[in-house]
């Protein structure tokens, strides 16, 4: 993957641009799977967004994913990133009126841990956009440490 999509340090204390209620106006995930908690940055012309997820001790995965030492599953990091990609895709003219469903992931790498109490900063950028399909670069950090990166493919639903 290319260089970092953003400097994660600058977004750790950044104000929330769009809260979860605003996110839910654009993407369909609800209840335990509404995992994207806020948007910190959005640039329509650059096809780029930065969001976050605050991991809590009450999250659905904590009890069962390594009891006594809860670690966020990689698939949850992917889902959070995919939700940011889907949200970002709703601003593209080619996808107007639709959301992006998860179609695949390439080059996924997990480079660190996410535990309850961490804020996961997630960045996404549209790499390729067609009428029914989009590819996004996605990265996620805890503090300044890169914990996940991959290329997410979304399909118009």
Q: Shortest CA distance to 12 belongs to which of 150, 148, 147, 122?
A: 122
Could you say which of 37, 42, 53, 65 is catalytic? 65
Give the phi and the psi of residue 77 in degrees, each rounded to 5.
-60, -40
Q: Any catalytic annotation for residue 107? A: no
Query: Per the structure block, which two tokens stand in for 27?
Result: 């993407």
Q: Shortest CA distance to 119 belongs to which of 57, 62, 52?
A: 52
Annotated catalytic residues are 65
């Amino acid at each position: 993957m290319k260089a970092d999509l953003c400097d994660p340090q600058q977004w750790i204390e950044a104000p929330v641009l769009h809260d979860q209620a605003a996110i839910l106006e654009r993407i369909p995930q609800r209840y335990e799977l509404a995992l994207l908690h806020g948007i910190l940055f959005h640039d329509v012309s650059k096809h780029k967004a930065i969001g976050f997820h605050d991991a809590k001790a009450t999250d659905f995965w904590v009890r069962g994913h390594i009891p006594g030492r809860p670690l966020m599953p990689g698939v949850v990091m992917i889902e959070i990133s995919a939700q940011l990609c889907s949200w970002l895709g709703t601003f593209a003219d080619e996808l107007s009126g639709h959301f992006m469903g998860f179609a695949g992931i390439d080059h996924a790498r997990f480079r660190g841990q996410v535990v309850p109490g961490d804020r996961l900063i997630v960045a996404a950028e549209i790499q390729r956009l067609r009428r029914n399909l989009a590819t996004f670069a996605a990265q996620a950090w805890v503090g300044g440490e890169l914990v996940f990166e991959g290329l997410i493919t979304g399909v118009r639903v």
